[in-house]
Structure 1
């Protein structure tokens, strides 16, 4: 079966190389994603890419995201918990408000607007659709996909070309990995697998996103040094994830998908720049650089924003902490609350849903 994946892998590598040579942000994620979409469109048939490959990529990226955590950064993050809660509530409020306005313009209904604008995981939002009457999985999928793509393309561009030049962050020089680091990497690998297994056991969503971060962070917070992975390994992990993102992209299941996509794009762009203004104010009130605050508040995927932080020399541990806190808050608090409210009001919401299939 892996032989079937080789063509799209080589195409993705070419896409990543092209994006890298063109100095496009997140080249080894966005390049493979775009290449996979074009490859699937050109073939006009399903393209095979194992989910296990995506999970391996997330395992590597989760290790990278969790490795900057130290006892000192842990103490700093604990002190920022009230700010994290306030920022998370602000992000949710801004995203839901802009998506509500987009929903009014397209007539997709309040339920679809609410779930489609929630800055959480696409799969979790689709799960709520399946359990709530008056919602449409295709509409929500389009809105969530547009949100992720808009953030993934816009935030790195603004961060690298609009903000990064105004910061004085210095990228640390990482020591190359040696043969002596192999046993230590095995220890981290075991910790990550244990964390993933535990999260899957308690049936908590996104184990391959949260597990690697928590497993690695637990060891680094305990004072164990995390060896730095070679850049080609990190690039390969991004390729694995980018291919899956591209192949999962489907936006043509509705006749009015263009209208929904355009209104969703406008709402996400509005949300991004509103949050940029809020990030500027927060950076003035705190000692956190603007670029770190902005990426921390971006309503995108945790792995993509962490990679953006790495490239922009932002504080990776702070970005991951804020993004992880928001993800956990949405999964634990916001989604159950939305499910309860939508179920309670599903009779009224059903009559307000206007979707053209």
Structure 2
């Protein structure tokens, strides 16, 4: 079957999954619905597929949407809590150490694989780093896929279970929508995405558009708001691409290793929540926002969660971005200078 037909089936399955999830009142229906629908079909070896441009499109929309939140007032608030974001990065590094010990002792893998599988970074970035250090990138990518998807599923359902929601004072939807403004905003942020991709910046199609939109917002240049329909399509593309990461026999590749990846991810979530409780005592930031901010998920997925539930999008984004940059920059050197000495 051609890729075009597989993409058509994938789009139909994603739409059905989204509407069904919405009907069933599933949290984040336009992300989780497509994710679960496509993952189920993939595991059953159904002729369904996604494509990297679709995920790039979803990340682009999420990125430019995030940038519109960063007004000068919001940046002043974030600057006042830089120490909390630094603490979030420290937590991520400590979780990597914990995960390394767990996977090394119980997951039956070597120290290299355990370390790069436990780093709280993106699947693609960590797989590339792992390959540079002679580690099997498929195992590392699988570990991060399981972690991100588990967090994406657990956090929204936990928020729904405990009736966690908020009113984000930085919501930008009150700004006027303009077709011409959105087209110009789109062109500028696409250029930002291509530049970030060319420079090999991690999460290029989130961060590139986000920084361009942020620069405009900081200078009080408001071109247009983002229509909710476009945001839904972006969420669908993100969920669709996450579900497409599964393959028949995915959990048979290294079952004991992946089982302890699940154990690590679940316990890391609990540890992160405990850390959020501590930060709540030390700062004036809301616990609900802090819990999503330090959750060991991905930037786009956690930003979507914060946006839909109105849990402080700039705060969550700032935490996730600072952590991602720190983890990408430090994971390789930490392995080279510290972790490798224990081999």
TM-score when normalising by structure 2 = 0.90
One of 236, 240, 243 as aligned partner of 2:240:
243
Asked whether 1:337 is paired with 2:333, we answer yes
CA–CA distance in 2 between the matches of 1:254 and 1:198?
37
Check whether the contact 2:57–2:234 (CA below 8 A) recurs between aligned residues.
yes
Residue in 2 aligned with 1:27? 29
Q: CA deviation at 1:330?
A: 1.7
Residue in 1 aligned with 2:93? 92
CA–CA distance in 2 between the matches of 1:280 and 1:148?
22
CA–CA distance in 1 between the matches of 2:147 and 2:55?
21
CA–CA distance in 1 between the matches of 2:276 and 2:210?
24
Q: CA deviation at 1:84?
A: 1.0
Check whether the contact 1:96–1:114 (CA below 8 A) recurs between aligned residues.
yes
Question: Cα–Cα, structure 1 residues 103 and 303, in superposed 2: closer, same or farther, change >3 Å?
Answer: same
Asked whether 1:222 is paired with 2:222, we answer no
Check whether the contact 2:37–2:243 (CA below 8 A) recurs between aligned residues.
yes
Check whether the contact 2:42–2:247 (CA below 8 A) recurs between aligned residues.
no
Q: CA deviation at 1:4?
A: 4.5
Residue in 1 aligned with 2:17? 15
Question: Cα–Cα, structure 1 residues 71 and 101, in superposed 2: closer, same or farther, change >3 Å?
Answer: same
Q: CA deviation at 1:336?
A: 3.3
CA RMSD of aligned residues (A): 2.5
Residue in 1 aligned with 2:38? 36
Q: Within 5 A, what are the aligned runs for 1:265-304?
A: 265-304=262-301
User: SS state of the match for residue 164, structure 1?
Assistant: coil
Question: Cα–Cα, structure 1 residues 175 and 252, in superposed 2: closer, same or farther, change >3 Å?
Answer: same
Q: CA deviation at 1:305?
A: 0.7
CA–CA distance in 2 between the matches of 1:93 and 1:29?
29
Question: Cα–Cα, structure 1 residues 253 and 33, in superposed 2: closer, same or farther, change >3 Å?
Answer: closer
Residue in 2 aligned with 1:107? 108
**Greater CA drift, 317-326 or 203-212:** 203-212
User: SS state of the match for residue 143, structure 1?
Assistant: helix
Residue in 1 aligned with 2:186? 189
Q: CA deviation at 1:170?
A: 7.3
CA–CA distance in 2 between the matches of 1:336 and 1:275?
23
Residue in 1 aligned with 2:312? 315
Asked whether 1:305 is paired with 2:302, we answer yes
Question: Cα–Cα, structure 1 residues 20 and 171, in superposed 2: closer, same or farther, change >3 Å?
Answer: farther
User: SS state of the match for residue 323, structure 1?
Assistant: helix
Question: Cα–Cα, structure 1 residues 200 and 173, in superposed 2: closer, same or farther, change >3 Å?
Answer: closer
Gaps of at least 5 residues in structure 2 are none
User: SS state of the match for residue 66, structure 2?
Assistant: helix
Residue in 2 aligned with 1:199? 196
CA–CA distance in 2 between the matches of 1:5 and 1:342?
45
Q: CA deviation at 1:216?
A: 1.0
Question: Cα–Cα, structure 1 residues 38 and 233, in superposed 2: closer, same or farther, change >3 Å?
Answer: same
Q: CA deviation at 1:73?
A: 0.8
Gaps of at least 5 residues in structure 1 are 350-357
Q: CA deviation at 1:225?
A: 2.3
Residue in 2 aligned with 1:78? 79
User: SS state of the match for residue 223, structure 1?
Assistant: coil
**Greater CA drift, 15-24 or 293-302:** 15-24
TM-score when normalising by structure 1 = 0.87
CA–CA distance in 2 between the matches of 1:253 and 1:316?
33
CA–CA distance in 2 between the matches of 1:294 and 1:5?
35
Question: Cα–Cα, structure 1 residues 194 and 343, in superposed 2: closer, same or farther, change >3 Å?
Answer: farther
Count of equivalent residues: 341
Residue in 2 aligned with 1:150? 150
After superposition, give the CA deviation of every residue in 1:76-103 in whole Å (9 maximum; x if it has no partner).
2222222211221112212431342133
